[in-house]
Amino acid sequence: MIETKNLTFQYNKKTEAVKDISLKIPKGSWVSIIGHNGSGKSTFAKLLVGLLEADSGEIYINDELITKENLTNLRKQIGIVFQNPDNQFVGVTVKYDIAFGLENQQLSSKEIKEKVLEYARFVGMEEYLDKEPHLLSGGQKQRVAIAGALAMEQDIIILDEATSMLDPKGTKEIVELIKKVNKEMNKTVIMITHDLELANLSDYVYVFKNGSLVLEGNNKKVFSEKEILESSNLELPIALSIYHELANDKNIDKKLVDTLWELSSKM
Amino acid sequence: MGIKFKNVNHEYQSFSSNEEAIKDINLNVNGTGEFIAILGHTGAGKSTLVQHMNALLYPTSGVVNVFGQDLPPRKKDKVNHLRQKVGLVFQFPEYQLFENTIIEDIAFGPKNFKSTKDKALDNAKKAASAVGIDESMYEQSPFRISGGQMRRVAVAGILAMDPSILVLDEPTRGLDPKGRDEVMDIFKTIHETENKTIVLITHDMDIVSRYAKRVVVLKDGEIVFDGLKEDLFTHPDFNTFNLEVPTTFKLLKALEEKLGIPFKETYTREELTNYLKGVKL
């Protein structure tokens, strides 16, 4: 479980990038943090993994308060995958890239090899172990990045806009993989995204606006709050926005409205 | 006048083998009034194709004619002026910003095409206002603004050269929905008010459905469709193009299955909403 209490951070003296965020993410859940560009959602992710240090507030992982002293512990429990597949490929080939984190863990080379193979298999990249990054598609590079994060065997994985640079095929590959990571490996998945259709796949949604948490709940609750979503500069998926437009129109058959609502969680 | 591809092939050479990126391309792009979306899978040859449009690549066989100039050029021919006529905006153009101030960065292109400094600055100011960069930002560093603003500055740098044809390689990639709409609306306005031809590569079928008039689909380096948007989605071979349909289509297909609402092609949310308001169940 991850919990934050009154977490606040500012890059410069003028603006607070993250304001007083308190939330609780249960173990094994799949949650989305959605918001416009500059809403603070990525900054929040960086605070969680310890890439930034909060100005005030607290972070608890499994009820343990994170301090400077046990920060290394925290890093052992959370992995993160970033937006741009090209900026996070550090190995010369797929296998070296997946092994990168493991090499700092005092494992024997046999153990490293086994783990690399295991996680390459899990993400469906075992046939590409000796391939160089420029021979891979964006989706494949992101799968390698996820394998590298999984190989560290952390409980929590954060995906920071991990699909926003991919084509539709690459996005589908990653979505399928995230499902597997959450359901089969039972890992807590925190997805940072501006895509409401992606967010719709998760169990629980947090909405950030100008650094603050303005809405949270299950999909049904969050997606019925049209005004808050729109005023947070988020774009409603087409089915949902038509639902909202027709829902208050008395001339429209209720069956149509209900079907639109039902479909809006599927597309 | 515009761009004409005649039997164009392009092979990339590597150590072990040659790879044909585009094959036997025949394509005409008018110098004014077109709004073309170029679609196809990653690796279908889209970027290779558009780089021929302003002489960044030459055909390995066949001829591309850009505003009267044949490519590959004969030795004495100059091609630089073509890049003023056909402005190309790469993917993630914000990575190419480099000047000290926003306005200098936008003016860099026109300055290089032999316009005087005053004229270049004039063009730059016009371009800045077209993309919504306010005068108060002119002297700021282009590296201290948001990602969406950086992209608009980069687009303005191409617009400032006043090209007849504007070619854009995935201009909305990585932007959030608001940023995407802002950027697309800039191109729409330029197209509508100045009658410029827009050629854009995209994977986003909702952009195609909302903005494009004509669509060119590439598959494994070959053109498999070239025609009106309205004819694309109903094309008998559509399924072989490996493309998604617009969300409006998906939604109405699902409503047809569940409620028997007859399917009809609609391309925007507004069209679909109006259609649904009119149906009787």
Helix (H, G, I), strand (E, B) or coil at B243: coil
β-strands B61-66, B69-71 pairing: antiparallel
Bridging pattern class, strands A204-209 and A56-61: unpaired
Q: With contact defined as beta carbons under 8 Å apart, do B190 and B230 qualify? A: no
Provide the whole-model pTM.
Answer: 0.80
Of residues B260 and B146, more confidence is placed in B260
Say whether pLDDT at A248 is over 90: no
Whole-angstrom distance, CA of residue A202 vs CA of residue A221: 13
pLDDT at residue A138, as a whole number: 85
Helical H runs in chain B? 46-51, 82-85, 102-112, 117-130, 147-159, 177-194, 205-211, 229-232, 247-259, 269-278
* Closest CB from A138, A237, A259 relative to B255: A259
- Give A-chain residues touching B38 at CB under 8 angstroms: none
Higher pLDDT, B108 or B175: B108
- Model confidence at B38, in pLDDT bands (50, 70, 90)? very high
Is B42's CB within 8 Å of A137's CB? Answer: yes
Digit-coded pLDDT (tens) for A18-51: 999 999 999 999 999 999 888 999 899 999 988 8
Is the pLDDT at A133 greater than 90, yes or no?
A: no
Return the DSSP state at B246: P
Cis geometry, peptide bond prior to residue B59 (ω within 30 degrees of 0): no
**What would the mean pLDDT of A86-98 be, rounded to a whole number?**
88
Q: Is B277's CB within 8 Å of A249's CB?
A: yes
B156: closest CA among B183, B195, B118, B194?
B183
C-alpha of A58 from chain center: 21
Q: Give the pLDDT of residue A267.
A: 59
Separation CA B147–CA A206 (nearest Å): 23
Q: B71, B78 in Cβ contact below 8 A?
A: no
Q: What mean pLDDT is reported for chain A?
A: 90
A41: tokens are 């959602």
Q: How confident is the model at residue A144 (pLDDT cuts 50, 70, 90)?
A: very high
Structure tokens at A103: 């090499």
- B105-123 CB burial, b ≥16 within 10 A, e <16: bbbbbbbebebeeeebbeb
Q: Among A35-39, B104-108, B191-195, where is mean pLDDT lowest?
A: A35-39
CATH class of A2-87+155-235: alpha beta
In the structure encoding, which two tokens stand for residue A187, read together? 């890992």
**What was the pLDDT predicted at B147?**
78
Residue appearing with tokens 């009809």: B264
What is the count of residue pairs from A and B with beta carbons less than 8 Å apart?
80
Name the residue with tokens 């992209």.
B151
pLDDT at B70: 94
* Stretch (H or E) spanning A148: helix A138-151
pLDDT score recorded for residue A262: 87
Listed in order, the ranges of chain A carrying CATH 3.40.50.300 are 2-87+155-235
Q: What is the mean pLDDT of chain B?
A: 91
A167 or B34: which carries more pLDDT confidence?
B34
What are the residues of chain B with a beta carbon less than 8 Å away from any beta carbon of chain A?
Answer: 41-43, 146-148, 173-179, 181, 203, 206, 244, 247-248, 250-251, 254-255, 258-259, 261, 269, 272-273, 276-277, 279-281
**Tens digits of per-residue pLDDT, B230-243?**
999 989 999 999 88
Between CA A208 and CA A197 the distance in angstroms is 16
The H helix count followed by the E strand count for chain A is: 11, 10
pLDDT band at B168 (very low <50, low <70, confident <90, very high): very high
